[in-house]
Amino acid sequence: MKENINYKNIYYPPGGILIWIIILLELLTFGIALIAMVVSSKSNPEVYHSSRLMLNSTYGVINTLFLLTGGFFMAEAVRFIKKNNLTKASFYTAIAILSGISFLILKGVEYYEKIEHGIGLEYNSFFTFYWLLTGFHVVHVMVGVIILAFMYKGLKSVKSPISPESFETGAHFWHMVDLIWLLLFPLLYLIF
Amino acid sequence: MKLTNKHTIIILYFLTLLSGLLSNYSPYIFYATIAILIFAGIKFLLVAFQFMEMKKAHPFWKNILVIYISLFILTVGLILYK
């Protein structure tokens, strides 16, 4: 890792400025959609409450723990790649990939149960938001897992190894998936 | 004491489980809802500042994250309270 990167410079935030522009845009988009959902809940609080109770909050909690665990191991992987310890960095990246896959499997189970009970996009306004928000988030998780898999391959590659800077940027994409979920989880599963 | 990634993940797990427990009282007790939102905000900032190392960044980036999450929680809280 280039030790001469000065993160205190406004143009060089950790992970790079481009990933941070993407992160802020994503946070803005999901944030606006979530606020629209809260506004919509005011006209139908009973529907939102009964719909929220139809979701399995235990799944939500477990999925949050999966993503946080993945985030922790990616943070550790970045720490170790900066120390040039590629063995530990690749091991931690592999655990983060597994946590992402676990999230997707559990989300798949949750989606299957909802579809089996006939709860689709048009069931009511709560579930319209539920499907759209979690659906877009799942796409981000899938992309994140693919990025992590490429990063893992890059760590193992002798011919074209991944640079620590690129690794950190990829890790930031994974953390972004975490940040979005930390906003979605309480609003969809806990508060209504 | 310096906050490490290990300390952070323990706090994150704890706040997640606590939020899950508090959801039994939401929306009947408004303070439970507010507590869940504040815990979400703390978790958001812990991930951003510790895992993403934004604690090392220029104040512009730190402020933008704090302002974003504060405005988000405030807006959601106010809409729910009204």
Does any domain span residue A7? no
* B19 token code pair: 């939020």
- Residue-wise pLDDT for B1-40, tens only, equals 788 999 999 999 999 999 999 988 876 788 899 999 999 9
What is d(CA A137, CA A30) in angstroms, rounded to the nearest whole number?
9
Domain count, chain A: 1
- Residue-wise pLDDT for A33-43, tens only, equals 999 999 999 99
Print the domain residue range for A181: 17-190
User: In chain A, what residues touch B34 (CB-CB under 8 Å)?
Assistant: none
Does any domain span residue A4? no
Domain holding A165: CATH number? 1.20.120.80
Confidence (pLDDT) at B30: 82
Please give, rounded to a whole number of angstroms, the shortest distance from the CA of B2 to a CA of chain A: 15
User: In chain A, what residues touch B80 (CB-CB under 8 Å)?
Assistant: 38, 41-42, 191
Does any domain span residue A2? no
State ipTM.
0.93
User: In chain B, what residues touch A9 (CB-CB under 8 Å)?
Assistant: 58
Please give the average per-residue pLDDT across A63-85, as a whole number: 95
Which residue in A has a C-alpha nearest to residue B22's C-alpha?
A190
What is d(CA A116, CA A11) in angstroms, rounded to the nearest whole number?
49
Confidence (pLDDT) at A139: 97
Put simply, whether B23 touches A (Cβ < 8 Å) is: yes
Asked if the model's pLDDT at residue A1 lies above 70, the reply is no
Per-residue pLDDT band for A3 (boundaries 50, 70, 90) equals low
Does any domain span residue A3? no
Query: Do B16 and A68 count as a contact with CB atoms less than 8 A apart?
Result: yes
DSSP state of A121: T
Per-residue pLDDT band for A4 (boundaries 50, 70, 90) equals low
CA A122 to chain centre: 25
Does any domain span residue A9? no
- Residue-wise pLDDT for A124-173, tens only, equals 999 999 999 999 999 999 999 999 999 999 998 888 788 999 999 999 99
